[in-house]
Structure 1
Amino acid sequence: MKFIIQRDQLIASIQDVMKAISTRTVIPILTGVKIEAKQHGITLTGSDSDISIESYIPAEDDGNVNIEQIQEGSIVLQAKYFPDIIRKLPEKIVEIESDEHLKLTIRSGKAEFNLNGQDAEEYPQLPTLQTDDSFEMPTDLLKNLIKQTGFAVSTMETRPILTGVHMNLKDNILKFTATDSHRLASREIPVKDANIQFPSVVVPGKSLNELNKILDDNDAPIEVSVTNNQILFRTKHLNFMSRLLDGNYPETSRLIPEQSKTAFHVKTKELLNTIDRASLLAKEERNNVVRMTTQGDKLVEITSNSPEVGTVSEEITVQSIEGEALTISFSSKYMIDALKAIEYEEVKIEFTGAMRPFIIRPANEDPILQLILPVRTY
């Protein structure tokens, strides 16, 4: 195997596949990066058997030559050393060559590294997904969906199914839902021409988080394919595959109250900043509790107290308050997460009582929904 490549492009691909490589894998060869050279380009692969990432660098792209003098072949290299070597090479051009004894030489400028490789034949075959059953969406919209729901997955392994994001595609409507049983985040979007439906797949939150980091923020299409136990996200130069979580996701729709007793409209940023300030004194408390009390038809008071530290109270003017007077306590962290995720200037918050879950939505009725369970304070 041999090729000459632009160092920056190689680094970008390595950084992508490294997100799937874990030192804690039970299959030793998976601690390495697989490199495969073909005449049309090179493919790098990283996997920890939960997530697999393939990054492809074409030999030519829009008339620009990325890779020259390609001799086909493949090898697996230790991920512990290879990325750092490439990153610190002196020149912008890198020559990579391996012989039949799996000895690899990396040359750049006057620097030369010799590494021992492993046989790529021993690298596990990634499952191939049939991409007939797939749909496309803009990449930046997928990133938004992940950002607006992924933070609400559970970090506790006691109920593994809740560590994932529930995806549901029906009648060209795609819905993401995440809950850790104290809060819930969901959003739905229309999908054009989806020739596929799936009632329920659960993707590990960790996988979506890594995918979100890798994807560029643009509206280029990303193709999504689902089989019984894998999901594949495919862009022009990237394949990101994740296993799905086994089990039945809880029916979350019945958590969402049908009607409200109290509701108000408020500027998102003002409320966010006020709760953020109130939470400064709630740090000692286990779940950073703040209390919210409606005052008349335009004012809401946010307070927090910590017996050892002190108290804080701040009034905030809201657009309007409808319904009954209310005092409710909740985790400031959950509220801050929810408000940050919504990304609209104004939100509508609906309550059905001091001990019932409440809902935060964008004021313009966009189908983003955040639900938070209140905290009982004595």
Structure 2
Amino acid sequence: MDKSILRLAIISDLHCHPKRKTGEGKDESYLLTDKLRVPSNDHPVDDLLEKINENKINKVDLTLCPGDFTDKANQQGFISGWGFSLELHRALGSREIIATVGNHDVDVYAQNSNYTLDIAKGIKRGFPIEDETSQDIFWSKGCVILERDIFRILLINSTHFHYNKEASKSGKVGDAMIEYIEKHLSTHNDNKIKIAMSHHHPIDHSILNLGEEDKIQNADALLDVLGKYKFDLFIHGHKHHPLIRYHNTTTYSHRLPIFASGSFSSHSNLMFTSVRNSFHLITLQKDKVCKGEIDSWTFFPNSGWSQPNDESGFPSHTGFGCEKSIEDLAEAVEDIMKDQGKMAWVDIIKQIPDLQYLLPDEGKNLENLLLERQIQIDKSLRAKPNQVYNLAKL
């Protein structure tokens, strides 16, 4: 079978709204609907567009948006947030943009309407997906499965049961939704790249005191189905804290990578956790097993998007899907370097491709094991090394 390659852009949790007046509270986003685009490096969308146009950021096949386009169901924020996402989607040259609904996109406080989905359904312009039949399924069932040539996306509306303020405290997938998913997947069980996306998280994400009460209800049943049909990646937003990790599904012991995409432009993550805003490109490659690389950019006000080598933030480069143990990888690098004083890291990668697919913590562990063997790389794995040195030969 030929290897399938899929390149994704992830734009999550924009929390877009107009600048708030005195007495309306603090602004919650760097991406205000009435914010001028000069200077460009203080505008998250305009600065990113410049970098895309200068070919500093690669083009993609697909743009995915895990929700929270607006803040507190602000209507203009939703219109502008989706408009900004479409603008980036076009600049990135992606064939399709696919979105889901976040808790801030649902009007549970009845500010604009007594029907919580009035704004979300009235946005149009291809929201959350272009095809109207797929839209109808998404709104009625709370999810839809999108079949494409080399990939399948399970698009979940984890706010489907947000009928009012009380019901909006967590995400939820219902039994009927899971039954619908299981029935579809049972007749479409193949080797496509399989991605699930929701706004809320399916497993606990209580790091940095972010709480445990708002994850998807009934998520274990959902994850078991995804494990049964060997999904390759679960993407979610909501937590404003980017994180990649594995979850072993209970019944089928499938190792499912779960990616929390953080926030594109919100203020709250900085206020409460000191976590900065991020934009991600994910490159998936699948033969029999799907492996991925994640390239991430961090937004700094009055500076724009960059890829800092900052140990306290999410890595500028990381991955997932490595099948080898860290000890075996360290031994393999040592064996290649035994007669070499130095080598280009790309030449090491050619011989040991799994080095590209390490989680951040796995990368740190590998660096430590290599140092014990007197092998040192010039930069951490999270910053894409150039050279590797055998200190015993220098």
Compare CA radii of gyration and give the structure with the larger one: 1
TM-score over 0.5 (shorter chain): no
Higher relative strand content: 1
TM-score (norm 1): 0.26
Q: Higher relative contact order by CA 8 Å / sep ≥ 6: 1 or 2?
A: 2
